[in-house]
Amino acid sequence: MNNGLRDASVTFITVVFLAVFGLAYFKLDAEPTITSFSLPPCVQYDMSRGERICSAWDHHMMEYPERIKQEVVHLLQETTKEHGLEGDLKELANSIANEMKNQGKHKAAVEVFQELLNTEKLVGTRGISLVETYNDLAETYTAAKDFVKAEEALQTALRLTEEFRTPDIKPAPKPETKDNKPDGYAVARCLDKLADLQKIQKSYQKELELREKAHNMRVAEYGEGSPFLVESYYNLADLASRLGQKTKAVTLLVEALRIADHRPAGSEARQLRQKIRDLCTETPKK
């Protein structure tokens, strides 16, 4: 009798536990957005608490990526011109869009980047911040092999970069450091990104035109010995190497090395020397 009662009690408790667990799971699965009932307090979003937004990324991104994406899009849509776009929200939007892209969820990543662009335009964002969002959108389209839309986004980024460059106003010269790049550098980088897209599509003539345009711009603005030319020479050498023009590639790398040898850090020069050695010892293609 006692055994029967004990067995019945265990069965009843098990059934109740499974029912409660199933109900909780169903509620969590059916929840359209993040709420205080489905996630810990640190993920309860509040536009006035940027640290909570960061906490969501730091601790719960991999657990609830789709829901955090929905909430981020919702917050972007709620942003007003008067309130402005919080830096933490922009950072999280970029992070989650890139995470979606890395997972191969290109459509979801595009949705976040486009919503971020809409918000930035609404609040009047200008300059390099807006350009970077277009560049991120272009990278997502490239990953999805939608090269037409990728080029459209990059062309928009280039146009915006040229607009805020204001070439008629010459600012006072500043030291050329990694963290202090002149506006012309941003234009040349946009041209390089367009060239990278042509590289993927094996449109080498278009790639060459864009590489040379970026290189000539750097020469005109910064002079023949500028450290910014190292990147241009390297890109042109890489293209020449892919086209089987080994002598030309070595010549371009030597020009890059001539500039790099005058810079304090030696790692760049060592890498260039190694690249030259590799080209010189490479077996000619039959």
Q: What mean pLDDT, rounded, does the chain reach?
A: 76
Write down how long the chain is.
286
Check residues 13 and 49 and name the one with the higher pLDDT: 13
- Is 44:30 a contact under the CB 8 Å cutoff? no
Please give the Cα distance from 190 to 196 (Å, whole number): 10
Best CA proximity match to 102, nearest among 65, 134, 72: 65
Domain boundaries, the chain: 31-125, 224-286
235: amino acid identity, one letter: N
What are the pLDDT digits (tens) for 75-126?
Answer: 888 887 877 787 778 888 888 888 889 889 999 999 999 999 988 888 887 7
8 pLDDT higher than 70: no
The alpha carbon dihedral of 64, 67, 72, 73 has a sign of: positive
Burial degree of 19 (CB within 10 A; 0-12, 13-18, 19+): exposed
pTM for the whole thing?
0.70
Give the lowest-confidence range in 20-29, 127-136, 195-204.
20-29
